[in-house]
Structure 1
Amino acid sequence: MVIATVKVPCVSFRSQLKKRCLLYPQRSFSALKSATRTATPPSTSKASTTSGQASATTSSNASRKSSIKNEKKAKKALTATDSTEAQLKQIESMMNMANTSNLFPTMDMWGTKLVTLDVEIPRDASLRMLFTNPGAFWHAKQHNFSNWLKNTFSMYTIAKARAFTGVNHDFRFSHLFLPRTWRQLGNVTSHSSASWLAPIRRIAMDNYLAIGRAIADKDEATLKALTTADHATKVNKIVRTRKPGEVWQWKVLSDVSDKALFQEKSLFRPLAISPGATIVSIRSGEVYVAKEPPKRGNRLVIHALVKFETTQELKVFTKQGQPVDAKSAEPHTVVEYLVLEKVGWYDNTWQVRDQIYK
């Protein structure tokens, strides 16, 4: 009797698991997990038991690390989601303000407190500085050139919105190809009566005189109309801290008429007298961002830095008419840099909002 023996290939548990992982890579981790739970090793020796414990420890450490990484990723995702939701809420609130502005026509949704725009005082860059202090000369030139670029862009923004006070013009993009347009946009310090800023200079000078007289006369109503909240606090402090019984007489002695304000200046013919008021820097920004245009005016807020150079005298008397200090009453030259503001959708005049010192 012959007994036929058939050899059965011995396939280890590791090779089976490896083959299964290669065939189904997306289920490799689940297969390994289920195999470690249900499979029984072929031998129960001490070596296999030790290796099983080591592999179990390694797998537990790996699972802990992966869980920590997953928690960190989840926290980052939650933080990003929170920040995105906060931004969306801000955008939604702005859209609600824009949509509800028609429902409340008497409420100014965009009348928030603004900071003074980056108006700048031009620096002295005389030709003598090129030889005495060339570093300061070139630094001043760069500063003035930067201010000129910002002035020109702001003038273009105002012209495009047709927001120049007292000037009726139909500005179009094709006008940028005309030399006379660039003479207007690039020369904010012009003293010509044909300048787009000429009416603003006249208003600035008149308001400056009215504010000086209001401080001397304790006229708080005029100060409130011609100054914004921050500057009104400063001038009201001057009025209220005066000694009781004093009488002030303030006067500008220099010429502030149209003849002095509007003079033609050329390369070989300087100004005959001081113009009194000169715009040295101007900035503009579109603050009214509602979908519907404002009921009146435009969307811009304009800040103009005006240099006032006048000869003044201030006389202080007691109730009996005796002068308090005769020396301080002598005429003296005063140079001030005041920032004037115009809110485009308000029907009011230019107001002084700040003072800048050189």
Structure 2
Amino acid sequence: MASGVSRTYLNTLAHAQIGFLSPACSSRAIVSAAYRRPYATAAVATNKNRPPVTAKKTASTEHLSSAPSPKVSVKTASRTHVAATGPAAKAGAKTAAVAATKPDPSKPKVMTENEQMEELDKILAFSKYMPTADVWGQKVETLDVMIPHPILSSGHQLDGLRGRWSQFWKNRLNDLKNTTSMVALASHNALPGINTANDRFLKKLFRWPFYTFGAKSTSPTSWLAPTRKIALDTYLQLNTAMAKNDSKEIKRLASNSFLTDVLAAQKKRSSAYTYFWRFHREVNPTQIVSLRVTEGYLAPDDPKFGNRLMVQALVKFDTEQSLEIYDRRGNALHTPAADAAETPSGVVPAEKQHVVQYLVLEKRMWYDGPWLIRDQVWEVNPRRAA
């Protein structure tokens, strides 16, 4: 949504979805599969560096191909031949050949599979000779989490039958990846608050399918119920810290681009005002709509804590909240609630707001640390975006 580790390698690791691999497969197999899979970020970066081809430019150069070639006399042609084969032409051709071999700095370098494997070997050697260095804690890009949209909803318009059919299969692919991610977490006994280490074959055969298909369930008995509670607690703590301008707590609960954006917004906030953020209720239960799991710890030896998995969950928070703002004299600067009355302490309740947010939470299971909010995803109507 990242010191000595290549960003290309880490971006490739971030897109190695365990949904297409067996949870019991080796690290080498996962890395090899990651190298073979293309990822969209490099393609987007390449397309951004290419100048757009407009209809106007195409029309202006179209006549060049259809124009008749001019007549050239024998004398003129001989001079042209001498000029084209002379020393100046050879020097120019040599210069052009050298320029063609130089890499274009505007285009991202695409590493071959052998180069990526060599880089992985260097990282493994570095982690062996420098055991105190954290080579597996580098920043990675957000995985391919997505917001599933109902194909018949009037609030999210889809263009025709083809758009609905495409969205239907996107939703099914998201469900498949959610299920495989749940299986990976259960196989490693990595579900918070759930113990699956002692489950026998019959329980895995009959009980696991019932729970692994319930990644988006909001039932209090689902396997992800403790994880949803952790996500909501993290959300409340972060919003409270943002209102108090507690940068230390913000850095403890946020990371990556989300942390950068929050800290930038905090710097622009005036110190002459005091903020109070209040959580009132959940309009709808907190829900994990998209779950991705990949193997992020690739050292030969198992981690001393937890397991090798890195988890990213797209969580939907549908809440009712309010924000109070006061100046140095205690005057309320916010919109008061309709039935608000100033309390003896001078507090004026603010108007409640219905807020829906999609936040990506990340947990690297080999660390004994909190879940971190690393990115935010916005729901976009494709018809409006077009």
Same fold (TM over 0.5): yes
1:111 aligned partner = 137
SS at match of 1:354: strand
1:15 aligned partner = none
Match of 1:250 among 258, 263, 277: 277
1:331 aligned partner = 352
1:120 aligned partner = 146
1:290 aligns to 2:299 (yes or no)? yes
- Cα pair distance change 1:227/1:88, threshold 3 Å: same
- For residue 182 of structure 1, report the CA deviation from its aligned partner: 1.1
2:256 aligned partner = 229
Count of residues in Structure 1 that have an aligned counterpart in Structure 2: 256
Contact 1:160 1:172 in 2 (8 A): no
**Separation in 2, partners of 1:204, 1:87:** 37
Alignment-mate amino acid for residue 267 of structure 2: R
- Cα pair distance change 1:348/1:109, threshold 3 Å: same
Match of 2:326 among 311, 317, 322: 317
Q: Structure 1: give runs of 5+ residues left out of the alignment.
A: 1-84, 256-272
Alignment-mate amino acid for residue 231 of structure 1: F
Aligned-pair identity in percent equals 36
1:301 aligned partner = 310
| Aligned residues: CA RMSD | 2.8
TM-score computed with the length of structure 2 as normaliser: 0.61
Alignment-mate amino acid for residue 357 of structure 1: W
- For residue 336 of structure 1, report the CA deviation from its aligned partner: 0.1
Alignment-mate amino acid for residue 104 of structure 1: M
Alignment-mate amino acid for residue 280 of structure 1: V
Q: Structure 2: give runs of 5+ residues left out of the alignment.
A: 1-110, 338-349, 380-386
**Separation in 2, partners of 1:167, 1:193:** 12
**Separation in 2, partners of 1:218, 1:319:** 16
Alignment-mate amino acid for residue 261 of structure 2: K
SS at match of 1:101: helix
Alignment-mate amino acid for residue 230 of structure 1: S
1:197 aligns to 2:224 (yes or no)? yes
- 1:283-302 deviations in Å (ceiling 9; x for gaps): 01012111111111111110
- Cα pair distance change 1:228/1:127, threshold 3 Å: closer
1:95 aligned partner = 121
Alignment-mate amino acid for residue 151 of structure 2: A
SS at match of 2:230: helix
- For residue 87 of structure 1, report the CA deviation from its aligned partner: 5.8
Q: Which protein has the larger Cα radius of gyration, Structure 1 or Structure 2? A: 1
1:280 aligned partner = 289
Between 346-355 and 157-166, the greater mean CA deviation after superposition? 157-166
Contact 2:316 2:358 in 1 (8 A): yes
SS at match of 1:147: helix
Alignment-mate amino acid for residue 225 of structure 2: A
- For residue 207 of structure 1, report the CA deviation from its aligned partner: 0.7
SS at match of 1:168: coil
**Separation in 2, partners of 1:130, 1:225:** 39
**Separation in 1, partners of 2:116, 2:163:** 45
- Cα pair distance change 1:134/1:176, threshold 3 Å: farther
1:219 aligns to 2:246 (yes or no)? yes
- For residue 136 of structure 1, report the CA deviation from its aligned partner: 3.9
- Cα pair distance change 1:86/1:135, threshold 3 Å: closer
Structure 1 segment 149-188 matched on structure 2, within 5 A? 149-170=176-197, 174=201, 178-188=205-215
SS at match of 1:320: coil
